[in-house]
Structure 1
Amino acid sequence: MKNSLSIAAALAASVMLAPAAMAETTTFAEDSKVKKEKPKKITDRSHPDYVRCRSEPIIGSLARKKRICMKNKEWAAHNREGGRRSREFVEDMQVGQNASN
């Protein structure tokens, strides 16, 4: 009795899991097609996702350089942040001069 009950349970489980396994194999085949297609390389230098690299000297070394690569939109944000910090510094120094007069 136990053997027939366990066989019946195994058969029911295999019937229930078979469609899910079939669905996974079809999605895997579709995913492999998508993975084979490489994204096109961006050649437009003004595109926001174009990657630019520049070399910056390492302080304390005459020959070593550090290569920094970012997308155009990241470089723009980096430049804005640098400009904001420098303006803030200059404004803070001007306020200090006016307060002492």
Structure 2
Amino acid sequence: MTRYLPVLMAAALFAAPGAAAADPAAAVDRAPPSKTPSLMTPTEIKAYNEGLPQTHPYYIKCRKTLEIGSLVKKNRVCHTNEQWKVVIAQGSQDARDTAEAMTAKGLNSSN
């Protein structure tokens, strides 16, 4: 019986991508959310994401961030996958610019 378990698991893994591939075609026609995702309630976000694959550009993902100065309070930040890519790229660019400015300033000092 234990010999068949890996074979059944492998068969299930090979069958799953075919079933998931049919769903994205139906969800491609979805329009972007009309409301800013951070202003939507979790129920609205769940209803909007219904039927969308997690990799779809308009799929809404939320993250909780700690509020500075508080040990307990958290802020919920929600964006679509498309918006998250822009936010992450901008954050990375800001970090590169800061690191470059700090190294350039260190090389040009006369101390």
Per-residue CA deviations over 1:51-96 (Å, capped at 9, x if unaligned) read 0001011111111111111000101100000000010000011111
TM-score, normalised by the number of residues in structure 1: 0.56
Structure 1 or 2: larger helix share? 1
Equivalent position SS for 2:68: coil
Aligned pair in 2 of structure 1 residues 40, 52: CA closer, same or farther (>3 Å)? closer
Q: What is the root-mean-square deviation of aligned Cα atoms in Å? A: 1.9
Aligned pair in 2 of structure 1 residues 42, 71: CA closer, same or farther (>3 Å)? farther
Higher-Rg member (1/2): 1
Measure how far apart 1:98 and its partner are. 1.4
Larger relative contact order, structure 1 or 2 (CA cutoff 8 Å, min sep 6): 2
Q: Give the number of aligned pairs.
A: 63
Equivalent position SS for 1:79: helix
Q: Is the 8 A contact 1:48 1:73 kept in 2?
A: yes
| Unmatched tracts of structure 2, length 5 or more | 1-47
One-letter amino acid of the counterpart of residue 68, structure 2: I
Q: Is the 8 A contact 1:57 1:64 kept in 2?
A: yes
Q: Which residue of 1 aligns with 2:52?
A: 43
Of all paired residues, the percent bearing the same amino acid is 30
Check if 1:87 corresponds to 2:102: no
One-letter amino acid of the counterpart of residue 66, structure 2: P
| Unmatched tracts of structure 1, length 5 or more | 1-38
TM-score, normalised by the number of residues in structure 2: 0.52
Q: Which residue of 2 aligns with 1:73?
A: 82
